[in-house]
Amino acid sequence: MQAFDVGAVDYLLKPVDDVRLARALARARLALDHGAVAALDASSPAKATKLAIATHDGAALVNPCDVTHATFDGSLVTVHTAARSILTEDTLQELEGKLPRGPFERVHRRAIVNLDHVDRLESVGSGGYVACLSTGKRVDVSRQSARRLRRRLGLR
């Protein structure tokens, strides 16, 4: 039951039946294709058309696809779009929970990027990357996150 509370699409019991496995995989693919993995119930924030970002004087409402990245500077998180930057009292972890899972990737303990806005990944000597965004901004990608990102993107 706890698995469904965090967005599980299906479940399997051992011994795994081939037909049941195929059905579970089909359901997961369908959910991924429709961006519904994190949005299976109506209360999920991923289904919302606007992202509510808590600020010191209220809340900013932003279309999630407009978010290019978010960074933590040591005290506050800044959510960036092409048009503006919004300081929020939310933590990166809280913001990550609000964002749709498809295009967003946690690339550093201090950064989340929207892969739809990444134009280029530049290798750095540490084994990480610098993500070059469509807005001209650059975001560090840690070595560990770079490994995960390479797998996600089908790179070696």
Query: Where do the structural domains in the chain lie, given as residue ranges?
Result: 2-33, 48-153
Work out the angle at residue 28's Cα, subtended by the Cα atoms of residues 22 and 32, and round it to the nearest 5 degrees. Answer: 145
> What is residue 154's predicted lDDT score, i.e. its pLDDT?
87
Q: Rounded mean pLDDT of 97-104?
A: 87
> What is residue 121's predicted lDDT score, i.e. its pLDDT?
95
> What is residue 6's predicted lDDT score, i.e. its pLDDT?
65
pTM > 0.85: no
Among residues 95, 98, 131, the alpha carbon closest in space to that of 116 is found at 131
Are 118 and 104 contacting, i.e. CB atoms less than 8 angstroms apart?
Answer: no
At 5, the pLDDT band (50, 70, 90 cuts) reads low
Q: Per CATH, is 48-153 categorized as 2.40.50.1020?
A: yes
CA distance 148 to 108: 11
